[in-house]
Amino acid sequence: MAYDDVEVELLAHPQVAECVVTRIPIGRRKDVLVAYVVATGRIEPAEVRAFLSAPRLRHSRIPQAVIPVNSLPRTSSGEVDREGLPLPVLPGRAAGGKGAWQDGDETRRFGLYLGGILAVVAFLITDELWPGSTDLSAVPQPWAGLFTGLYAAECLSFGLGIGFLVTGRRRLTGSGRLTTSAHLAIVWLLVAWWPQDNFYRLTAKTDWGRQAALVYGFNITLMLAAAVLVVFAVRDRRVD
């Protein structure tokens, strides 16, 4: 697959003199898009990726890594020698090590493990924080089982939200306030369900003050979080 459009946009960067974009295999049936750039001065890979974001390129065309090099290897005919390009190395890994790309996998695994642990903790302490909110002693089966599954799902979403808060920011393309807002919006959409439903179950239907506080504290903020994600998605993918 050709990446001429990506290279054209890279060359539009004021500090990029030469570049080549290619895919590097990192495992079975998996590869990553990498840009090698020759810069006229010091260059920050994260800034270059942000420069390429919409409206310049859609998300799938933005290289997952930008590798500054002193020069591009060339064949005797003067063409770029793609086989001679150095293997990309993520920060904190030994140069040339094939394990360099495992950093992202380890981060994702840590986020999932953390989310699972926190989900179990949330499930165990729910009744301590909101006494009686999960009491299903008067609810017949199969409804009691269905509600128990719902409570478990809420706790799981809470755990995954915290896991994404800790490890998910780097998974979003781009930099700046909108990307940070999208990260926090995802976290809130996941985290909010656990406390929200427990507060609602313990609030009387005619307690209008508390009902209003819950609506504005959770429902409105959830809608705002969804709106932030819509803006982020449209901005990031409006160019095909």
What are the pLDDT digits (tens) for 213-225? 999 999 999 999 9
**Which residues constitute the domain of residue 123?**
102-237
Nearest to 115 by CA among 186, 66, 164: 164
- According to the model, what pLDDT value does residue 193 have? 92
- According to the model, what pLDDT value does residue 28 have? 61
Nearest to 193 by CA among 230, 145, 152: 152
Helix axes 177-191, 220-237, angle to 10 degrees: 140
Q: Does residue 142 share a domain with residue 43?
A: no
Which of 44, 60, 88 terminates a domain? The answer is 88
User: For the chain, percent helix, then strand, then coil, each to nearest 5?
Assistant: 55, 10, 30
Q: Is 28 helix (H, G, I), strand (E, B) or coil?
A: coil
Instruction: Read off the pTM.
Output: 0.59
* Cα–Cα distance, 9 to 120 (Å, whole number): 47
List pLDDT tens digits, range 139-169.
999 999 999 999 999 999 999 999 999 888 7
- Residues of the chain scoring pLDDT < 70: 1, 27-29, 88-105, 170-171, 173-175, 236-240
Nearest to 203 by CA among 151, 154, 133: 133
HSE of 170, CA atoms in CB hemisphere, 13 A? 13
- According to the model, what pLDDT value does residue 105 have? 61
List pLDDT tens digits, range 103-119.
456 777 888 899 999 99
Q: Does residue 189 share a domain with residue 164?
A: yes
Per the rule left: phi > 0, alpha: psi between -120 and 50, beta: everything else, 27 is: left
Estimate to the nearest angstrom the gap between the alpha carbon of 79 and the chain centroid.
37
Q: Tokens for 14, please give them.
A: 């004021």
Domain count, the chain: 2
Which of 22, 54, 88 terminates a domain? The answer is 88
Which of 88, 117, 147 terminates a domain? The answer is 88
- According to the model, what pLDDT value does residue 206 have? 92
In-domain check, residue 27: yes
Q: Does residue 200 share a domain with residue 112?
A: yes
* Cα–Cα distance, 134 to 198 (Å, whole number): 8
Q: Does residue 230 share a domain with residue 117?
A: yes
Q: Does residue 232 share a domain with residue 120?
A: yes
